[in-house]
Amino acid sequence: MSAPIDLLLERLEHVKRCGEGKYLAACPAHKDRTPSLGIREAGDGTVLLRCWAGCETSAVLGALGLEWRDLFPRRRSSRGRR
């Protein structure tokens, strides 16, 4: 199972690492000449997105074929355990 950050980064173009768990990439929701999509991985593995040109996160996710739930780490199910 891939981490949410890996799932996202593999779908983006012009990805540049800007620090520990921080990236900048071309926003897929608009014609981005200069990368404007800020990506950050929180300590719990949740991915935070911000398009500095103003695109809504839902538009970015839609352009990538992802859903909101894809930004969060999957939790192990405790069903079947005793």
In the predicted structure, residue 28 carries a pLDDT above the cut 70? yes
- Report domain extents, the chain: 4-71
Whether the predicted model's global pTM rises above the 0.75 cut: yes
Average pLDDT of 19-39? Answer: 96
Q: What is the pLDDT of residues 33-61, one digit of tens each?
A: 899 999 999 999 999 999 999 999 999 99
pLDDT value of residue 35 = 96
pLDDT value of residue 75 = 76
Contact (CB, 8 A) for 1 and 9: no
